[in-house]
Amino acid sequence: MKITVSERLDWFEKLSVILTGFSRSELLGTGLIEIYLDTIDQHLGEDHVNTLLDSFRKINIQDEEDLTAEESRNIQELVESKSNESITKLVILLWYTGQWYGKNSYIVSSQSYLEGLVWKAIGAHPMGGKQPGYGTWGFPPLTFSS
C-alpha cells in the first residue's frame, strides 16, 4: 500500500502523542515533528519506519489522547514486539532529549535540546534555556496531573 507524505506525518504525529504522553498541541509547539521523522528515516530507512507506521495504523486509534482499554493493550503489544521495541525507544529518546541515540549519537539542533520533553516531564525547564524567572525556584513546584 502506498502511503502519502501527509499520511505518514499524521501517523507519526499520533504515534508520538502515545509514545511520549504529551498532547498533539505540545508536540506541534516544538516545531520538530517533521525534522524528527526525517531524522528517523535517515537513520533507519523509510521502509523500516513505514512498517512501524503501518502496524500502528492497523490499531485504528480513535483518539490518541484518550485510549480505550483495548487500544492500550494493542499499543502495549506493538511497543513490546521484537520488531518495534528498539525503534519506539529511539523515537521516545529523540522526543525526550532531542538526541539521536544511534551508533553515532548527536543532538539534532539547539532547538531540539531546548524542546526536549524530559524537562517538561520532570516539571522543570531545560538546563540553560526557557528560564522561569527570578526567584521562581523559591516557590513550591507546580503539581502536574499525570
Distance CA(144)–CA(23), nearest Å, equals: 14
How many binding residues for other proteins (CB under 8 A)?
Answer: 46
Alpha helices for 60-136 (secondary structure H) = 69-80, 82-97, 110-114, 117-121
Stretch that binds other proteins, among 5-13, 40-48, 52-60, 104-112 (CB under 8 A): 104-112
Stretch that binds other proteins, among 28-36, 41-49, 51-59, 121-129 (CB under 8 A): 121-129
| DSSP H or E stretch at residue 99 | strand 99-100
Q: If 0-12 CB within 10 Å is exposed, 13-18 middle and 19+ buried, where does residue 61 land? A: buried
Q: Could you say which residues in the range 14-43 bind other proteins, by CB under 8 A?
A: 18-22
Q: How far is the CB of 103 from other proteins (least distance, A)?
A: 13
- Interaction site with other proteins (CB under 8 A): 18-22, 79-80, 88-89, 92-93, 96-97, 99, 105-107, 109-110, 113-114, 118-119, 121-125, 127-129, 131-144, 146
